[in-house]
Structure 1
Amino acid sequence: MNAITYAEPPESHPEIPLPGGDVTEGVVRVGDTVRRPIGPNAPLVHALLRHLEETGFEGAPRFLGVDAAGREVLTFVPGEVAGRPRPPWLADEERLASVGRLVRAYHEAVAGFVVPDGVRPGLGLDEPPGTPPPPPYPVELVGHMDYTPDNLVFRDGQAAALIDFDIAKPVTRADELVNAMLYWAPLGDPADAEPLLQGVDVPRRCRILADAYGMSETDRSRVVEVAVMRTRRSWFLMRQNAEELGGGWARMWADGVGDRIKRREAWLERHGAGLDAALTAP
């Protein structure tokens, strides 16, 4: 799938470095655009962003093409991002509910999207031997699957847009909500939580997300199972990314993400019943 060449405007603008999250480096703002390195999942991401534009979804950047330096060009999405250090509002429950509503709006917009023929979602790696299986449910849509505070743009105290679709892939709605809960509840050992999220009522925050999204009873009943299975898989996949892709993946592994994943699995096994009760209570 060939990308269009971006036509630069006649006026020039300086390149202003932007935070690239844990993995992506070399992200800059140029005028009203963002320039990013093209990743292995770009054919899917570009097709997905075109679809979101065609549906009128306002909560994602527009893909404009590829510049002369070989970088993808996206529209700059204005607003507030919870970068590091995290802002005081990170634990705010109204903002949390708005995350659930934004995820739902994205799902409504992406529902008709089909992965183009010949496009292989992912980072270009085969699963390493011994990787546990994914949850046994048929995929429903192409999910964002990276709802970190760094990847949500807020305006007027509400989650308004998603950025960084680099690891988008076909998943279930339950997978997506578990991913959002992972970062915003958060799911995991409290010792590993963002300082502003230590001591919060995790089951309550999961329920707020589920209610704001309008999560089905079936999907609520699957959250703990999906969270455990995805956590077990992530240890193998993160180690592989660190070993084969290096860069930010290797830095995260060296910083102990593998140990944090193991602690999350143990925490989910201890607290799964309480999470399930909070999510499924009338």
Structure 2
Amino acid sequence: MSSFTYVEPPESHPEIPLVGGDVTEGVVRVGDTVRRPVGPNAPLVHALLRHLEEVGFAGAPRFLGIDATGREVLTFVPGEVAGRPRPGWIADEERLASVGRLVRDYDEAVAGFVMPEGVRPTFGFSSPPGLPPAPPYPAEVVGHMDYTPDNIVFRDGAAAALIDFDIAKPVARVEEAFNAMLYWAPLGDPADADPLLREVDVPRRCRILADAYGMSDADRSRLVEVAVLRTRRSWFSMKQIAEEQGGGWARMWEEGVGDQIKRREAWLERNGTAIDAALTTP
């Protein structure tokens, strides 16, 4: 028997569908476990989750193995997730600060992680033609890089755990901070934001996240540049993965995510100075 084969307990439990994400289908809860399809990035994700368990990071599920039907088995993480429609607390600044602290704690926990020999990030789609350059900063951690409200579990009003590590990859810490700001500030045209976040002070929320994370002065000065570069790349990547993988990715593209990304880029160009000032002013 493989060491990664999950041994089912003697008592049986029904499969309860879990919903909330945009692209991963077939996720169910079975007792105290979650079963998910095995994705192309699974070797890295499984090694990463084992590392987080070894270092005692409490804010992530534990990888338990592969069940008899070929699905990942993870521990179920109890708590509250911002589903749709978003709850009223999505704009709460105390919760926002707790997101920054959780991202920092994760990055600290993963700082010593070394990818196993032969394991590299794999996302199941080819490099799109014309892809703009990535931010020019060296990777420092294997980042989660998907800090959507659907992927952060809250307990007692504070961010407590992360789920869905499918797009984990080596990045600079400033890219982790940008990804959290993307969804929680949020960075983008207010027309594309959740109604509860359309009137918020985005630069202020960026500063709250930056302070809670403990961003360095250098990273604060790089944030807007990274945001623009990542946004430009995401249009090409989203188009390519929608064409090659279909499913939820294709649905998002058909619903206009490409246009939303273009609006975000234009918004960042208009508002970058205000965001930079909020982040860097003593």
In which range does the TM-score fall when normalised by the shorter chain? over 0.9
Does structure 1 residue 55 correspond to structure 2 residue 44?
no
Greater shift in the superposed pair: 40-49 or 17-26: 17-26
Does structure 1 residue 264 correspond to structure 2 residue 264?
yes
SS in structure 1 opposite 2:142? strand
1:260 Cα deviation from its structure 2 partner = 0.1
Does structure 1 residue 21 correspond to structure 2 residue 21?
yes
Does structure 1 residue 109 correspond to structure 2 residue 94?
no
Change (3 A) 1:6 1:188: same
Q: Is the 8 A contact 2:111 2:141 kept in 1?
A: yes
Aligned equivalents of 2:20, 2:95: Cα separation in 1: 22
Taking structure 2 as the reference length, what is the TM-score of the superposition?
A: 0.98
1:117 Cα deviation from its structure 2 partner = 1.2
The corresponding residue for 1:85 is 85
Aligned equivalents of 1:84, 1:98: Cα separation in 2: 21
Does structure 1 residue 209 correspond to structure 2 residue 206?
no
Q: Is the 8 A contact 1:142 1:169 kept in 2?
A: yes
Q: Is the 8 A contact 1:122 1:168 kept in 2?
A: no
The corresponding residue for 2:73 is 73
Aligned equivalents of 1:44, 1:125: Cα separation in 2: 16
Q: Is the 8 A contact 1:20 1:26 kept in 2?
A: no
Aligned equivalents of 2:11, 2:72: Cα separation in 1: 19
The corresponding residue for 1:140 is 140
SS in structure 2 opposite 1:265? helix
SS in structure 2 opposite 1:131? coil
The corresponding residue for 1:161 is 161
Aligned equivalents of 2:207, 2:66: Cα separation in 1: 41
Aligned equivalents of 1:36, 1:114: Cα separation in 2: 25
Deviations 1:85-136 (A, max 9, x none): 1111000000000000000100110000011111120313331111001001
Q: Is the 8 A contact 1:57 1:106 kept in 2?
A: yes
1:169 Cα deviation from its structure 2 partner = 0.4
The corresponding residue for 1:100 is 100
Change (3 A) 1:3 1:181: farther
Q: Is the 8 A contact 2:220 2:280 kept in 1?
A: yes
SS in structure 2 opposite 1:160? strand
Aligned equivalents of 2:145, 2:176: Cα separation in 1: 6
Aligned equivalents of 2:84, 2:61: Cα separation in 1: 22
Does structure 1 residue 39 correspond to structure 2 residue 39?
yes
RMSD of aligned C-alpha atoms? Answer: 0.8
1:20 Cα deviation from its structure 2 partner = 4.9
Deviations 1:142-165 (A, max 9, x none): 000000000000000000000000
| Length, aligned pairs only | 281
SS in structure 2 opposite 1:89? helix
Aligned equivalents of 1:75, 1:207: Cα separation in 2: 34
List alignment gaps of at least 5 residues for structure 1: none
1:3 Cα deviation from its structure 2 partner = 6.5
The corresponding residue for 2:220 is 220
Letter in 2 for 1:196: L
Aligned equivalents of 2:167, 2:112: Cα separation in 1: 19
Greater shift in the superposed pair: 119-128 or 101-110: 119-128
Does structure 1 residue 274 correspond to structure 2 residue 274?
yes
The corresponding residue for 1:243 is 243
Q: Is the 8 A contact 2:20 2:84 kept in 1?
A: no
Give percent identity, aligned residues only.
Answer: 82
Aligned equivalents of 1:40, 1:28: Cα separation in 2: 19
After TM superposition, which residue ranges in structure 1, 4 or more long, deviate above 4 angstroms?
A: none
Does structure 1 residue 12 correspond to structure 2 residue 20?
no
1:46 Cα deviation from its structure 2 partner = 0.2
Change (3 A) 1:173 1:3: farther
Q: Is the 8 A contact 1:113 1:142 kept in 2?
A: yes
Aligned equivalents of 2:3, 2:202: Cα separation in 1: 43
Taking structure 1 as the reference length, what is the TM-score of the superposition?
A: 0.98
The corresponding residue for 1:233 is 233
